[in-house]
A and B are shown apart, each in its own frame.
Chain A
Amino acid sequence: MTDPTASDIAAATLATTAAPSDAGTADAIARLADAAGHASSLLFNWRRDNPGAPDVARALNLETALDQRAIDLRARAVRLLGAQAADAIAQIADASRRVDDFLGGARKIEDRLAIASAVVGLAGAALVGDAGGVLQAIVGVHGALKAAQA
């Protein structure tokens, strides 16, 4: 049995890196792309180092086919990653929007009234100068905080 030529090896690689099914993961597709791309690079270097080899023209064709397959598989792997992550990206975008909305809406009138009302009680107690009253007013502020946090 004769040793396989570079072209034989490349042709075998081409066959094994046929496009996988949709069930294949992006990771597996990326690995297939690596196999195709690596074989293409090996073939290129072999062709450059052996310009007088009898099957150099065939090697060039296979090398080009493997290169194209690697590109296609990589593009497909990224598309699959995008499809898998689409919901997660949308969810994170929504969370970011909610934070912005929250910070933008912090001047809601209910909050202002609740706090202002509690502060009125607190300030009043402080004005009267009664420490016991101040402590009672603090309880009032605490209640307003609870209500606002609910």
Chain B
Amino acid sequence: MSRRSRAPHILAAIAPCLLAGCAAQMQPVADFGAAASRLATVYQPFAPGLAASCEQRERYVALGNPGAFDDAAAQRAAAARCKALREAGATAALFGQALADYATALVKASGAKATVFDSDIKGLSGAAGKLATRDGTPVFDSARLGAASKLARAAAALVMEGRIQGLTRATLEDNQDALRVVVEAMKTYAGQVYAGQLAETRDVMAGELGRLVTASGAPTQADVEARLPWRFAQTPARADIAANELEARRVRAFSRSADALLAAHADLIANFDKIGGARRLELVAAFVAQVQAINDDVAAL
């Protein structure tokens, strides 16, 4: 095979290799972005959940207080009492939004396609393809032209990918501390503030359930009718407690996976130049599966 006829094959072989190399390097960034995005999604309900749990506790307390009782009035009073936590929830939502934005930016950057030069390249190829000698013979070997176009696209992709990789690396490095601060804030909110509220609400509900069970006892058949309200009231109380416990499980799982996310981010930076490296997102993936299992539990309730 002559040097001339071998050239197009070499060119054709180079292009996909160049592109494949770039794509492989960005895949861990895309994986990380997706995992961070899922974590932000799991966190999202925690923000309004704080005030909701507070209101639920206040409603249960109101049931046990002396004096007149009106369910709607009790709900309004609970909302007013927990208003500060509703406002706090709006602040807490900002943490999750920041993480979601960051994740989205990384996914966008890692998934960017180098197609912006395609029209230029196609234009050049098209113009070259039309060139002919005076006798109408095409000047250009179509195979070589095709190979040149393919390499040109690979070259254009390299420029874009190179710049995107530079931007992505800088984004990861520059924001490591910021990400840590935001994720730690999310952890403190979820693991301390929200978890504490959930525990208190659960204590009150569990106490009420215990009293409902005690009050449901009927020494004789004649007593049963009068005990029915306490017996029926047990079911919604148990459902409330179960939902509270599931939310507490989500919070605990979130804290563990938030640590895994920070570790994965540091790992991503350390291994950024190693193609195929930084794939240790198993903990985050396991967390996502765990949350899915919890959600399945909720659906089964």
A residues apposed to B, CB below 8 Å: 26-27, 30-31, 33-34, 37-38, 40-42, 44-45, 47-49, 60, 67-68, 70-72, 74-75, 77-79, 81-82, 84-85, 87-89, 91-93, 95-96, 98-100, 102-103, 106-107, 111-112, 114-116, 118-120, 122-123, 125-127, 129-132, 134, 138, 141, 144-145, 148-149
A89 touches B95 (CB 8 A): yes
Interface of B is mostly: helix
Q: A130 to chain B: closest CB distance in Å?
A: 7
A64 to chain B, nearest CB (A): 9
Please give the distance in Å from A149's CB to the nearest CB on chain B: 5
**Given A74-B193, A96-B101, A130-B4, are A84 and B203 also a contact pair (CB < 8 Å)?**
no
In the assembled complex, which residues on chain A have CB atoms less than 8 Å from the CB atom of B162?
145, 148-149
B271 within 8 A of A: no
Q: Which of A47, A85, A106 has the most CB of B within 10 A?
A: A85
* A119-B144 in contact given A75-B87, A92-B182, A131-B7 (Cβ < 8 Å): no
Is B163 interfacial (CB 8 A cutoff)? yes
B22: Cβ under 8 A from any A Cβ: no
The chain A residue sitting closest to B174, CB to CB, is A95
Q: Is B219 on the interface with A (CB-CB < 8 A)? A: no
Q: How far is the CB of A63 from chain B (nearest CB, A)?
A: 8
Q: Is B139 positioned at the interface, with any CB of A under 8 Å from its CB?
A: yes
Given known A-B contacts A85-B182, A85-B185, A149-B163, A123 and B98 have beta carbons under 8 A apart: no
Interface-facing stretch out of B120-128, B277-285, B286-294: B120-128
Q: Does B175 contact A (CB under 8 A)?
A: yes
The reply to whether B102 and A92 contact each other, CB–CB distance below 8 Å, is: yes
Residues of A within 8 A of B108 (CB): 99-100, 103
Residue pair A68, B91 in contact (C-beta under 8 Å): no
Are B101 and A93 neighbours in the complex by a CB distance under 8 Å?
A: yes
B124 touches A38 (CB 8 A): no
Set of chain B residues within 8 Å of A33, measured between Cβ atoms: 193, 196
* CB-defined contacts of A115 to chain B, threshold 8 Å: 117, 120, 152, 155-156, 159
- Minimum CB distance partner of B103 in chain A: A96
Does B140 lie within 8 Å of A74, measured CB to CB?
A: no
The one of B7, B85, B181 in contact with A134, judged by C-beta atoms closer than 8 angstroms, is B7
Closest A-chain residue to B131, C-beta based?
Answer: A127
Instruction: Identify 11 new A-B residue pairs, CB closer than 8 A, beyond the known A27-B192, A119-B148.
Output: A67-B61, A72-B84, A88-B185, A89-B98, A92-B102, A96-B104, A111-B116, A115-B156, A123-B148, A129-B144, A132-B3
Asked, given contacts A45-B207, A149-B162, whether A92 binds B117 with beta carbons under 8 Å apart, the answer is: no
> Any chain A CB within 8 A of the CB of B208?
yes
CB-defined contacts of B7 to chain A, threshold 8 Å: 126, 131, 134
CB of B50 within 8 Å of the partner chain:
yes
Q: Decide: B152 and A123 in contact? CB cutoff 8 A.
A: yes
